[in-house]
């Protein structure tokens, strides 16, 4: 039996839940939100869809103890309305709110007896992933965040459009913070198997900025993002369940920097199976170190008890 949990049932968490139920990914799904009316409404809506689906998912509501035998827990709490698109704070608009949520839910997750893999979507993603790991005390391997998985998808999309091909044909990684200090490691990027340097007509600086600002382009129109990030969370959860050994960029703990930061890793049944250490350029290594230093500085000041 495949069983997942989702904490936080706003736009992102609800889309994660809908995707899991609609795809028939899980047999049981634990949904948790402190807004009990919202949680009940999400369950009712999903239950109403059940007779028209080819699969059946048992939904358990607001019961932390039900997480004890869950394989994957996705944390999607927060309030995206706190993000100011016109401020340099960016995703750090949720910093104060979400650090308090971590302190509230972490003891409940631990007390539930949960022994699975925890995937964080909360913003600022790297900081909150690190904080969740510290506050739960779970092995770092078992806790990771979506990180630059989505930013890399945005890069692939924009590079593909500029090169006249499908973004699926673009390989490579966005490293660093899921935020302002992220960067495209162009040394890792290729299009249809050819290194990006073979496409001199592309404006790499603009493409990098497009990827960095991708979330805000969406939010400008509908004031939140949900489809893409939920897709990333589900894909990572499925990689854990299938022991897929999926190579992709996530927010993973790198002992070299002492914090979580976006970089390629291998995802399998144990969570982070291994980090992928590529031969980055000197400038890319410096950018990664600077981004990780910033992330760590924002975690280290948070209450640790």
* Catalytic machinery residues: 178
Integer Cα distance of 90 and 85 in angstroms? 6
Determine if residue 122 is labeled as part of a ligand binding site. yes
Determine if residue 12 is labeled as part of a ligand binding site. yes
Integer Cα distance of 10 and 82 in angstroms? 13
Determine if residue 9 is labeled as part of a ligand binding site. yes
Determine if residue 98 is labeled as part of a ligand binding site. yes
Determine if residue 245 is labeled as part of a ligand binding site. no
Determine if residue 113 is labeled as part of a ligand binding site. no
Determine if residue 33 is labeled as part of a ligand binding site. yes
Task: Kindly state the tokens that stand for 77.
Answer: 């709490």
Task: For residue 16, give the DSSP letter.
Answer: H
Determine if residue 271 is labeled as part of a ligand binding site. no
Q: Backbone phi, then psi, for 75, in 5-degree steps?
A: -105, 115
Determine if residue 180 is labeled as part of a ligand binding site. no
Is 261 within 8 Å of 289 (Cβ atoms)? no
Determine if residue 233 is labeled as part of a ligand binding site. no
Please state the separation of Cα 119 from the chain's center in Å: 7
* CB-count burial class (<10 Å; 0-12, 13-18, 19+) for 61: middle
Q: Backbone phi, then psi, for 170, in 5-degree steps?
A: -100, 125
**Secondary structure (3-state) at 302:** coil
Integer Cα distance of 21 and 23 in angstroms? 5
* CB-count burial class (<10 Å; 0-12, 13-18, 19+) for 99: buried
Distances (CA, A) of 175 to 15, 149, 157, 276: 26, 9, 16, 12
Determine if residue 164 is labeled as part of a ligand binding site. no
Task: Kindly state the tokens that stand for 38.
Answer: 């919202």
Binding-site residues for NAD(+) sit at: 8-13, 33, 98, 121-123
Binding residues: 8-13, 33, 98, 121-123
């Amino acid at each position: 039996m495949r069983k997942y949990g989702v904490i936080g049932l706003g736009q992102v968490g609800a889309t994660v839940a809908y995707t899991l139920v609609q795809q028939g990914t899980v047999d049981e799904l634990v949904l948790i939100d402190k807004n009990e009316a919202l949680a009940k409404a999400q369950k009712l809506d999903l239950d109403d869809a059940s007779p028209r689906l080819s699969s059946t998912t048992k939904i358990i509501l607001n019961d932390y103890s039900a997480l004890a035998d869950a394989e994957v827990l996705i944390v999607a709490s927060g309030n995206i309305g706190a993000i100011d698109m016109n401020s340099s704070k960016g995703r750090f608009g949720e910093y104060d709110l979400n650090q308090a949520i971590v302190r509230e839910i972490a003891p409940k997750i631990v007390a539930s007896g949960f022994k699975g893999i925890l995937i964080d979507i909360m913003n600022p993603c790297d900081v909150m992933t690190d904080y969740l790991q510290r506050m739960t005390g779970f092995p770092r391997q078992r806790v990771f965040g979506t990180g630059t998985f989505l930013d890399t998808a945005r890069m692939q999309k924009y590079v593909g459009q500029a090169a006249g091909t499908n973004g699926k044909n673009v390989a490579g990684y966005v490293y660093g913070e899921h935020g302002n200090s992220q960067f495209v490691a162009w040394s890792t990027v290729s299009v249809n198997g050819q290194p990006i340097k073979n496409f001199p007509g592309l404006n790499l600086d603009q493409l990098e900025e497009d990827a960095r600002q991708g979330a805000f382009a969406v939010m400008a129109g509908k004031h939140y993002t949900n489809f893409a990030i939920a897709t990333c969370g589900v894909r990572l959860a499925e990689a854990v369940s299938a022991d897929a050994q999926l190579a992709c960029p996530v927010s993973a703990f790198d002992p070299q920097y002492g914090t979580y930061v976006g970089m390629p890793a291998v995802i399998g049944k144990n969570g982070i199976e291994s980090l992928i250490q590529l031969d980055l350029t000197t400038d890319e290594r410096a950018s990664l170190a600077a981004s990780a230093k910033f992330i760590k500085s924002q975690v280290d000041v948070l209450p640790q008890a």
